[in-house]
């Protein structure tokens, strides 16, 4: 489906943001990086965007963990928000245009709940909590195709879910306002139903209404949010505001580790910091996260990081060679991507990031034949696609420039000998390179020259 802004000008989209109670893991970042690529792909294609992503800074988890840490909710969530921003910057993710926090929008949330109560879509319980009555919304379950799934449908007021993240195998009335409980500590607000705090699902609906109105272009999150979170958002927003809510949905499949779910209890949950201590850069992580299609789960392994490093170094060297052959710096304003046309088209075909990365390599093979202005144009096209992907290549200019021509020739001759399985000649040439002060390191598809 081609994405077009409903107002004909700006593509307006909402992403459910992080719950700021600890470091985001690389699974969370699969979702945030893909959302960033969606925005970049639209913008590099010339379409302005309005990107709204919230901060979940009050819910069951943030309250519980702030108490464990002995900090106020505000101090605690501010700390993790900062860390999240730092990680996003390392991953080259654009900051959203608007980043509303749930705590700063309590009045808007109370207004929305009141409207739902007035319209009889919600009811207060004896303890001062307010629940959404799912029987009052005929389309409940459409997004997640509840009717086609074997779920227990409890459309009675007897079945209610009070937790922000409830048992996914049962469907029930869900909480909009939670009455104050001792374990909430000082985290409560006044409302027409007494002291309490909003439910997580409602927070997003109220912030969406504030910044995007009742109809907008796209809504996004990880696939785990389809039910119940997004289902509940639709119910609340459509009943309260009456609009169409999101025109399209962008759900990102999960990042797995060693074929299984990432979880704290399995100790297989990686953060950028964990990976940095093993020498991996955030850009290499980004490359890995783009190496699978968003519709399919992606298996994270350390081999995939090695492959990302190799691929980016290779691309960087080819880009440097293209720059060396370019007659001038070309700006690409046309729609002609030359040898990289297929990479660009693939990226815009259902945001096929692995296809686009593959297209860069095939494009490079064709671009290698170009000289002068043609090389410059190809380089500009390559850079534009890299910008859309948010990939910054490592700087390899040093190693390429510094290698003397005769050493390069020797190395090429050796590589040719090796490819022809002429091991004797290859060894002789390796010795000659060593005498000239260079060590050869062979990779799967190419080689590197390292000064001794
Ligand atoms: P949270 O901070 O838990 O609210 O999650 C932030 C975002 O990360 C949400 O859009 C989740 O759906 C998404 N997410 C959580 N786990 C994963 C995962 N393993 N792979 C991809 N996205 C995930
Ligand atoms: Zn949300």
Q: For 245, how many CA atoms within 13 A lie in the half-sphere containing its CB? A: 22
Retrieve residue 271's tokens: 């953060």
Q: Are 7 and 211 in contact (CB under 8 A)?
A: no
Report the residue among 224, 225, 256, 261 best suited for mutation to probe ligand 1: largest number of ligand atoms under 8 A from its CB. Answer: 224
| CA dihedral sign of residues 178, 179, 180, 182 | negative
CB atoms within 10 A of CB 30: 27
Q: Which CATH class is domain 272-389?
A: mainly alpha
- CA of 225, nearest ligand number: 1
Dihedral class, residue 185 (left if φ above 0, else alpha if ψ from -120 to 50, else beta): left
pTM of the model: 0.87
Give, using CA atoms, the residue closest to atom 18 of ligand 1: 27
Q: Can you tell me which atom of ligand 1 is nearest the CA of 222?
A: 12
Q: Can you tell me which atom of ligand 1 is nearest the CA of 221?
A: 10
Q: Can you tell me which atom of ligand 1 is nearest the CA of 17?
A: 6
Listed by start position, the domains of the chain span: 11-252, 272-389, 405-451
Retrieve residue 87's tokens: 């990680």
Nearest to 243 by CA among 227, 263, 219: 219
Q: Are 440 and 414 in contact (CB under 8 A)?
A: yes
Give, using CA atoms, the residue closest to atom 8 of ligand 1: 28
Low-confidence ranges of the chain (pLDDT < 70): 1, 148-160, 165-171, 264-265, 329-335, 398-402
Rounded CA gap, 34 and 42, in Å? 12
What phi, psi does 76 have (nearest 5°)?
-65, -50
Q: Can you tell me which atom of ligand 1 is nearest the CA of 256?
A: 19
Q: Can you tell me which atom of ligand 1 is nearest the CA of 262?
A: 19
Homologous superfamily in CATH for domain 11-252: HUPs (3.40.50.620)
Helical residues (DSSP H) of 71-155, grouped into ranges: 73-90, 106-118
Retrieve residue 189's tokens: 């607000």
- CA of 266, nearest ligand number: 1
- CA of 61, nearest ligand number: 1
Q: Are 66 and 74 in contact (CB under 8 A)?
A: no
Rounded CA gap, 308 and 24, in Å? 21
Give, using CA atoms, the residue closest to atom 3 of ligand 1: 19
Give, using CA atoms, the residue closest to atom 19 of ligand 1: 27
pLDDT in tens, 281-319: 999 999 999 999 999 999 999 999 999 999 999 999 999
Block residue for tokens 């960087």: 316
Nearest to 202 by CA among 110, 125, 267, 283: 110
Map residue 448 onto helix, strand or coil. strand
Written as one string, the DSSP assignment of 198-216 is E-HHHHHHHHHHHHH-SEE
Angle at 216 between CA 215 and CA 217, to 5 degrees: 140
Query: What pLDDT score was predicted for residue 9?
Result: 97
pLDDT in tens, 188-201: 999 999 999 999 99
Rounded CA gap, 102 and 66, in Å? 16
Nearest to 225 by CA among 248, 209, 249: 249
Block residue for tokens 């009555």: 133
The DSSP output letter for 402 is: H
Written as one string, the DSSP assignment of 288-340 is HHHSS-TTS-EEE-HHHHHHHHHHHHHHHHHHHHHHHHBSS-----SS--GGG
Retrieve residue 37's tokens: 């690529």
| CA dihedral sign of residues 81, 86, 91, 94 | positive
Rounded CA gap, 106 and 110, in Å? 6
Distance of CA 211 to the CA centre of its chain: 21
* Cβ < 6 A, ligand 1 pocket: 16, 18-19, 27-28, 30-31, 56, 221-222, 224-225, 252, 254-255, 262
- CA of 245, nearest ligand number: 2
Give 126 Cα–ligand 1 centroid separation in angstroms: 34
- CA of 24, nearest ligand number: 1
Q: Can you tell me which atom of ligand 1 is nearest the CA of 220?
A: 10
Give 238 Cα–ligand 1 centroid separation in angstroms: 24
Report the residue among 28, 57, 295 best suited for mutation to probe ligand 1: largest number of ligand atoms under 8 A from its CB. Answer: 28
Query: What pLDDT score was predicted for residue 330?
Result: 61
Q: Are 55 and 102 in contact (CB under 8 A)?
A: yes
Q: Are 391 and 312 in contact (CB under 8 A)?
A: yes
Retrieve residue 132's tokens: 């959404």
Q: Are 91 and 272 in contact (CB under 8 A)?
A: yes
């Amino acid at each position: 489906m081609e994405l077009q802004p409903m107002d004909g000008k700006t593509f307006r989209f909402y992403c459910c943001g992080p719950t700021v109670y600890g470091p985001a893991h690389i699974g969370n970042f699969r979702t945030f990086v893909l959302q960033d690529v969606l925005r970049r792909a639209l913008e590099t294609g010339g379409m302005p965007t309005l990107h709204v992503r919230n901060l979940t800074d009050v819910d069951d988890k943030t309250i519980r963990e702030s108490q464990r840490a002995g900090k106020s909710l505000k101090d605690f969530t501010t700390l993790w928000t900062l860390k999240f921003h730092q990680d996003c910057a390392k991953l080259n993710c654009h900051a959203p245009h608007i980043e509303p926090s749930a705590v700063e929008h309590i009045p808007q949330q109370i207004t929305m709940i009141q409207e739902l109560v007035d319209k009889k879509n919600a009811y207060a319980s004896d303890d001062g909590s307010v629940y959404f009555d799912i029987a009052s919304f005929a389309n409940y379950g459409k997004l997640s195709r509840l009717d086609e799934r074997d779920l227990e449908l409890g459309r009675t007021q007897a079945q209610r879910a009070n937790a922000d993240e409830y048992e996914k195998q049962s469907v029930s009335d869900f909480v909009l306002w939670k009455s104050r409980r001792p374990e909430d500590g000082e985290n409560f607000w006044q409302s027409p139903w007494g002291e309490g705090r909003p439910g997580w699902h409602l927070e997003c609906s109220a912030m969406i209404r504030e910044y995007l109105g009742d109809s907008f272009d796209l809504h996004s999150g990880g696939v785990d949010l389809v039910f119940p979170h997004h289902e509940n958002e639709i119910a609340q927003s459509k009943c309260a505001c009456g609009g169409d809510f999101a025109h399209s949905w962008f759900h990102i499949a999960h990042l797995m580790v060693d074929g299984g779910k990432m979880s704290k209890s399995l100790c297989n949950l990686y953060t950028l910091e964990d990976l940095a201590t093993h020498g991996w850069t955030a850009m290499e992580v980004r490359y890995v996260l783009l190496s699978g299609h968003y519709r399919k789960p992606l298996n994270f392994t350390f081999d995939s990081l090695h492959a990302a490093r190799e691929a980016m170094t290779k691309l960087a060297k080819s880009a440097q060679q293209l720059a060396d052959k370019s007659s001038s710096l070309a700006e690409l304003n046309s729609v002609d991507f030359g040898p990289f046309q297929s990479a660009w088209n693939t990226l815009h075909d259902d945001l096929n990031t692995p296809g686009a990365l593959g297209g860069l390599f095939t494009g490079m093979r064709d671009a290698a034949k170009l000289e002068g202005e043609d090389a410059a144009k190809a380089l500009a096209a390559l850079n534009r696609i890299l910008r859309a992907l948010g990939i910054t290549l490592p700087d390899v200019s040093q190693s390429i420039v510094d290698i003397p021509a005769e050493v390069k020739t020797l190395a090429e001759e050796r590589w040719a000998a090796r490819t022809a399985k002429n091991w004797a000649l290859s060894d002789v040439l390796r010795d000659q390179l060593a005498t000239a002060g260079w060590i050869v390191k062979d990779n799967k598809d190419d080689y590197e020259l390292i000064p001794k």
